[in-house]
Structures are given as C-alpha cells and as structure tokens.
Structure 1
Amino acid sequence: MGLVALTSFIPITLETLASQEGHLYGTNEPCVAKPSNAATAGALQEGERPRCMISFGHIEVDTASFVMYLTSLAVLLQALTVVSISSMADHGSYRKKQLVVFSALGSVATMLIGAMPYVWMAGALSVIANVSFGAGIVCFNAYLPLLVRNIEQLRLKREELTSVEREIEGDTERRQANRSGDDAASLALADRIGVTEVAAALEEEEGDRRESDEPLVTGQQIIDHSLEQKMKLSLEISEQLNEEKSQLMGQISARGFASGYFGGILLLLVCLYISYLDKSSMWSLKFGIFLSGLWWCLFAGLAGVWLKERPGRELILSDRDRKRGSLWVASRYVVYSWNRVGGTIIQARKLPNAFAFLISWFFLSDGYTSIANVAVLFAKTSLRLSQTLLILLSLVVPICALIGTLAFPRLQKALGYDQKQMVMLLLILLVMVPVYGTLGLILPFWPKLSSAKELFALASYYGFLIGAVQRSMFADLVPKGRESEFFGLYAITDKGSSWLGPLAIAAITDATQEIRYAFIFLLVLLSLPIPIIYFGVDMHQGRLDAEKASQELLQSQEADTDRGSADEDERERLLSTV
C-alpha cells in the first residue's frame, strides 16, 4: 500500500505543488495561471508542453526533474539507512522491532504529506516515507527464508536428511575402524550395526562367482555398500528439499506481493471514484496519500501482533559497552553493521553465483525503478493526462501485477521451470517494453507512444511482469543465519543503482527535449542482466555454496562462544575501527 503512494500519488502531488510555486521557462508567469504571453499561449494551443521551472535560490530546475532529484536523494538516504540496520536484524530480537518502527514512521510521514501547503515540506516528508519504506522492506525480505524454513513439511524433510547424514558419518567412522581389523571381527561389527540385510544382498550377488570354501563377503564390502546407498539417499533427499523449498519460497513471495497489490487496488478504486466526483481539485490525491499511510500503519500493526520474533544470535559486546546505556549499544550495532558490510561484500564475492545475481540486480532494479518513476510523470507532463486518467493508469499496473504474481507460479509449475528459468523468461518479456519505445524512434511507421491508449497498454503489460521471482531466487543463494545482512546488500545494490536511471533520463530529456529517447537507455539497462544471469548463475552450485557458508558461520559462532570473554577486547578494537 505504501508503494502505491510512493510511486503514484506522491510524485504527482509533488510535481503539482512544484508547478503551483513555479514559473514558465524564460518568463515570470506562473505555470498554473492563464498565460498572457501570445507565444506561450500559442504553444499551449498547439499541444506543446511548456517547461515549468521552480527556483531554489539562483538554481532553476524543471518541476518533473525536481521530483526525480528528490527521489535520488531519498534513495541515497535509503542506502545509508539500510547499511546501518542490516546486521541489527540478524542479532537479537531487532528484526521485528525494526519492521514495526520503520513502518510506523513511514506511514505517519505519508499521512501528513497531503496536509503540507508547501512543496519543500511535502518533499521532506516524502524522503522520510521513502527511507522508512526501504528500511522496512529489508526486514520484510529477511523474513522470507525464515518463514519457508519453518514450514512443517520442510522441517520434517530436514530432519530426515540430518538422520541419514548422521548414519553416513557413523558408517564412515566404522569403515576407518574396519581397516585395522580382520573379516571375522568386521562381520561381527556389521551384524551389530544392523547391516545383515546388506550382507545377504552381497552374498547373493557374489555367490555365483566364489568357491564354496571362500568367504562370500567381507565386512569392508558390507560397510562400503551401506555407505554408498546412504549417500545416494542423502543426495536424493537434498534435491527434493531444495526443489520444495524453491517452490514454497516462490509461492509465499508471490502471495505476499499479491496481497499488497490487492490492497493497492482497493485504495486506487476509492481514489478513482472520488476523482470522478471531484475532477477539479487535488483533494482525491491527497486523500489517497492519507489513506495509503493509514492502511500501511494498520497492517504494520497486524504484523507486529502476528509475526514471531524469531531472534538471531546476540551480538557479543563487552560489559563496558553495555553499561554505557542503550544508545551506546545501538551505536555499536550500527558500527558493527558498517564493518560487516565490507565483510558481506567479500563473502558475496566468495559466493560467485550470489555475486553474479547481485550484479544483474544492479541493472534490473534500476530498470524497474526508472520505468515506474518516469511513467507517471511522463503521462502528466508530456501527455497531460487528466487526474482521473492518472489514477486509472496507476490502477492498471497493480491489477495486472496481481494477475501476474498469481499466474506465474502456476506457469512455472506447469512448465517445470526452476527459479532461474522463470527469471530469464520474465527478463526477455520485460525487454519488449523499451523495444517498443525504441522502434518508435527508428521506424517511421511505428507508433511513437503519443496517446493514452498506448501508454495504458504498455502499463498493463509491464504490470503483468512485475513479480517476486527474482527475490525468491536470491533467497535460495543466501547463507542461513545471514539473511538480513545479505538482503541488506540486496537492498543496497537496488538503491545504489536506482538513482542512476532517473538522473540519466532527466539528462537525456534536457539534452534532446524528448523523453522518448530514454527508451534506448532503458533497452540497454534491461538487456544487461540477461547474459549475466544466464551465464553467471548456477542455482545448484549456488545452494551448495550457501550451505557451506552457513556451516562455516555456525562453526565460527561456536568458536566465539568457547572463547567467551577472552575475545571481548579484540571485538571492541574491531568495532572502533570505523
């Protein structure tokens, strides 16, 4: 619900407020007043878009560019915030607390935006709302693998796998012990460990090839055969576990997105009805922003009641740190988060499949953000759609997205595709959006995206392709116990690139006076992830790498516990390096 306000209502409202305080380019005439200059009036009658500028001291910027600059600032602050909180959600019981606090802060800021009379006030609140939304999403994403891990059928499958692995470990130890004993002792040992059935099977296989006075089977063969069968069983169970985990993760992720889109659709329908009744004012948009914040606040409260804490391992701090109070302890967590982000990047580079995915996500997320941020402003400033049509355009995207998030998991199951194959399919389909716009620049007979019908068709197609597949794909590659940290890096990658698209499109528009040339930039941006994922991500190996990293982390934590207080001074030194 907060996403509806941040991507639709708030940008339109900010641009409108900026226009009310702005002036036409090259004149002192207000943008919203009837033009007195004949040339300006003639341009308006011919359908050209007069540039509306807003001044900040001696600096003038286009009102649409102002919104994109503000978005870039919010994204930068989001990235800094995400880095600071990423590790706090992995240690102690902060994951749920952070989700609730940032949701409350963002929802209240959102509700207040519509009441602000000046653009700078509304702009400041929009930055707070954006930062809070991004920080909350990090905690929300970190819950996904935890929710999947605690599903009953996966828990039972893990217990079965653990049991088989323990038997393999026991057989391996017995095989080592057997090398120093004779066959009689080995057979006696084999009988005690319950592998007489294996002996019988081997005797039947060997019976035709051995003389009657020779031993039919040795203890070593019995144990080797048992070990071989159990290793095959372990591999089979592991593959089943990964497949079920992947499918369940995609289903839960899709349902979460679908519920969000459904809430957004309800809100947009209410605002559309109000806009239809009152076409001349911004009241419907401001009411929509307030309702978005209220809805966000209410459902964040439900999450606070229903979600379990699922605390992580406590961060070990010295007694001196703890005696300095909660604010000092919180600062230690922030410092530790910044120290760990470098380690996370190093760790991600040790996981080549996860690292390749993050590189692709750098470009893909920027493409998503660029299309979403620019579309509404393009519709308002270039096509000059009415307020009712703008709300209707915002309504089309989540409706189609709801259909897509429900349809693609079923399509994935019907096609038998894994997460990587589905992401590849979605990417290829998504690239068709900028291809359509680029062909309009190259081919004289191709439509040039100059009508509301074309924009609505593209918005429907784009909305249908927005899904949660890429998020659940990354969750498969994340080491257990470091979910918040890695999803923090996921969000940093997202926000670290999301300011580039709007700025690049603004620069292209300023240079060419035509926003349609941005389709070429978007085509390149959305095409780059395709070869990176296809050639750089191996899901099977990625899962194995993540499991190995999880085991190394567990061993490291156990070693820290054993060392206890002897390591406190060293940790304090590391925490003070920033």
Structure 2
Amino acid sequence: MVNNYVLVLTNGYWVIMGIWWFIFQQPRPGPPLPKGESYLTIGWKQIWLACKQYKQLPYTFIYLFAFFLLADGLNTTGTLVSICQNDKFSFSFLQNTCLGLSQAITSTLSTFGFWYVQRYFKIPTKKMFVVTNVVTILIPFWGMLGIWTDKIGFHNVWEFWMYNIIFGLFQAPYYAFSQTMMAELTPPGFDNMFFGLFGLSNRASSMIGPNVIQAIIDSSGSNWMGFPFLFALCVCASIVIWFFIDVEKGRRDAVRWAEGVRRKNVSGADG
C-alpha cells in the first residue's frame, strides 16, 4: 500500500511540474515536408541515404559501428549489475532512491568538471572520450572478477554504492562526449540525417545485448558469466575508437561531402 501512495506522489509531481510545458511552449515549426513525402517514411529514407555514404565518410561510419558496440556493452552492463544487485540483496525503496541520488549528483558534478578540464587544458574531445571508455571497460571487468571470488565483483553492498558513484562520475560525460564526437564527424547542415542514424544505433544495441546476455546466463546458470562477454565487447569497441578513428580527417571528409552535396543540389536546381 505504501508503494502505491509513493507512485501517486511521484506521478502527481510529474503532472504538476510538467503540465506547464504544454501550456507555455511556443510553436517551433520546422522546414516544410518535401513534396511527395510522408512523415511516416521520410525519417527512414534519410537514414538509408546516410548509410549509403559510408565510402565517402569512412571515419563517421567506423565511429557509428564502434559506438553501437560500446553502447551495447554499457547499456547491458547496467542491466546486468541491477540483476546481480537484486540477486544478492533486497534494497529498500529508500536505499534505491539514495543510490539513484548518488548517481545523479555525481553525474551533474562530473559533467561540469569534465567540461571545465577540457576547456582549461584545451584537450580534444576524443581524448576526453577515451578516459570515459577506460571506465566503461573497468565496470564489466570488475563484475568479471566476481566469477572467481566472493570478496569483490558485485558481491557486497559497498560495491553497488561504488558502482553508482563511478557511473555518475564517468558515464555521464561518456554520453556527452559520445554526442560531441558524433557532431564533429557529422557533415555540417546534415545533422538530422546522421544523428538519426546515431540514435538508431544506440537504441538497436539496447535490444541485442540483453538477449545475448540472457542466453549466456541461461546456459551457465550464473549472472556473473555475462560480464566476460561485456568486457570483451567494450574492449573491442574502445580499441576501434582509440586507434581507427582520425577525427581531423573525418571532419574534413564530412565538410567536403557536405559541400559536394550542396553544389550538386545548386547545379540541379539551375538546370
């Protein structure tokens, strides 16, 4: 009964605080829909057109592939850690709330902190992203240790506190820098097209990873046996990002491609 009252309270909070957006939000019409197109299909057509440019934008598509793997590993790692937590402990509503708050507070602090460090020392986006990649690898590695010992590897209460704090400190900047990397490798003026593909790669990974992990857990009988796969996945994705993506060349390719498309469109209109 108490949980039902809590649900009423939290949902009432969202309704009271969110309804004003619908009342005061001003209309922001975008460009008109091209003739002969449909709102149901134009997004998919844009994604398909973007995919066809992989030869001209190699670094952009290498990054999209690596991000797909990395997002798969990170998203599924979070799910698996939650499963291990529920398997070992029955945290109360208050304890889960405090865990979430610890992650939220550290996420806010770290996002501003990483931004300040990057701006002060003028560090390129890729190097900042690499730092977050290292922690992304270490989280499933830590869980993997729990296969061989009960002393560490998500077998203790303190480890779940540590996980939420570490996740907040490094994975919130991960999301920020992953999008900044995509922005640097996106042809200027074609943001909707390529960020649509970027968003799709993130969502698709969230459907594949959990199914693979579930098959591993069903076969082995242990939740912790899923961590080696996630560790390998994150390592492979990070290696691709670290050694096979040249952001400067990728940015030049993107600008060159965008200028070529514009010239083609202008010449076609003149004809």
Q: TM-score range by the shorter chain?
A: 0.7 to 0.9
Long gaps (5+) in structure 2: none
**1:487 matches 2:195:** yes
Distance in 2 (alpha carbons) for counterparts of 1:497 and 1:464: 23
- The aligned length equals 268
Distance in 1 (alpha carbons) for counterparts of 2:11 and 2:218: 30
Query: 1:224-263: per-residue Cα shift (whole Å, max 9, x none)?
Result: xxxxxxxxxxxxxxxxxxxxxxxxxxxxxxxxxxxxxxxx
Relative distance call for 1:301 and 1:421 in structure 2 (3 A) is farther
The AA in structure 1 aligned to 2:266 is E
Picking from 280, 283, 289, the partner of 2:5 is 283
Question: Retained in 2: the 8 A contact 1:362–1:497?
Answer: yes
Taking every aligned residue pair, what percent have the same amino acid on both sides?
22
Higher Cα Rg, which structure: 1
Query: 1:153-205: per-residue Cα shift (whole Å, max 9, x none)?
Result: xxxxxxxxxxxxxxxxxxxxxxxxxxxxxxxxxxxxxxxxxxxxxxxxxxxxx
Long gaps (5+) in structure 1: 1-277, 322-328, 564-578
Distance in 1 (alpha carbons) for counterparts of 2:246 and 2:8: 47
Question: Retained in 2: the 8 A contact 1:376–1:390?
Answer: no
**Over aligned residues, Cα RMSD in angstroms?**
2.6
Aligned residue in 2 for 1:390: 96
The AA in structure 2 aligned to 1:453 is W
Relative distance call for 1:491 and 1:392 in structure 2 (3 A) is same
Deviation at 1:507, TM superposition (A): 2.4
Distance in 1 (alpha carbons) for counterparts of 2:153 and 2:250: 43
Question: Retained in 2: the 8 A contact 1:367–1:526?
Answer: yes
Query: 1:116-156: per-residue Cα shift (whole Å, max 9, x none)?
Result: xxxxxxxxxxxxxxxxxxxxxxxxxxxxxxxxxxxxxxxxx
The AA in structure 1 aligned to 2:161 is F
Deviation at 1:375, TM superposition (A): 3.7
Relative distance call for 1:391 and 1:553 in structure 2 (3 A) is same
Question: Retained in 1: the 8 A contact 2:60–2:182?
Answer: yes
Deviation at 1:395, TM superposition (A): 1.7
> Greater CA deviation, 551-560 or 469-478?
551-560
Picking from 137, 159, 166, the partner of 1:454 is 159
Distance in 1 (alpha carbons) for counterparts of 2:233 and 2:185: 24
Distance in 1 (alpha carbons) for counterparts of 2:16 and 2:243: 45
The AA in structure 2 aligned to 1:450 is H
Picking from 355, 358, 361, the partner of 2:64 is 358
Deviation at 1:402, TM superposition (A): 0.8
**1:519 matches 2:227:** yes
Distance in 2 (alpha carbons) for counterparts of 1:424 and 1:532: 11
Tell me the TM-score normalised to structure 1 length: 0.43
Relative distance call for 1:427 and 1:532 in structure 2 (3 A) is same
Relative distance call for 1:517 and 1:296 in structure 2 (3 A) is farther
**1:401 matches 2:107:** yes
Question: Retained in 1: the 8 A contact 2:74–2:136?
Answer: no
Aligned residue in 1 for 2:251: 543
Aligned residue in 1 for 2:241: 533
Q: Which has the higher contact order (CA 8 A, sep 6+)?
A: 2
Query: 1:452-481: per-residue Cα shift (whole Å, max 9, x none)?
Result: 221111111011112201101110111122
The AA in structure 2 aligned to 1:537 is I
Aligned residue in 2 for 1:440: 146
Deviation at 1:289, TM superposition (A): 4.5
Deviation at 1:352, TM superposition (A): 1.0
The AA in structure 1 aligned to 2:59 is N
Deviation at 1:301, TM superposition (A): 6.2
